[in-house]
Amino acid sequence: MLAALAWLGGMLFTLVVLAPIFHGTFPAREEIQLAYAAGRRYHFVAARAMEIVVLTGFAGLLLRLWGGDGGFSQRGWVLLGLKGIGFLLMAILQTWQRIRMHRELTPLLIAGGGGVLGEQQWRAIQSRMGRVTLLTLGLGMAMVFLGLLLRGG
């Protein structure tokens, strides 16, 4: 549960605290450097948290199946399947976002912000990253909710 909190809390922190800073507070060049550094650190922590969530979830599933609990009801299997699909979608979204961030921000970092064109590109990247982070946060919260439903199913 702590791993899920770190993971979802990181996304919430990004949306509520970091995103507003990146709306013209600093010159585009500095915002790009900060976003790139923060994004790299966040993705490292998020990946480890996601791995812990998946491993502990798998361990819990094995314990439930072989622990004499009798496994899941049909509703439980459906919820488990939805949860698995949701985690797969989040992993794909976060991987895609990391790859895109690296591809798009690296040239802007090398160009030193890129002037007006670089600033326009940066604003477009910001907007897309915010939407993807919000979508991933929603999926993550849904997965936590499904996990709580599975405890009773």
CA distances from 102 to 20, 24, 83, 116 (A): 21, 21, 28, 20
End-to-end CA distance of the chain: 18
Condensed to tens digits (0 to 9), the pLDDT of residues 88-142 reads 887 888 788 778 877 877 777 777 655 666 777 777 888 888 888 888 888 888 8
Domain positions in the chain are: 2-19+26-152
Residue 112 has a pLDDT of 66
User: Is a pLDDT exceeding 70 seen at residue 80?
Assistant: yes
For the whole model, what pTM was predicted?
Answer: 0.65
- CA dist list (Å): 23 to 19, 28, 45, 80, 93: 7, 9, 24, 39, 23
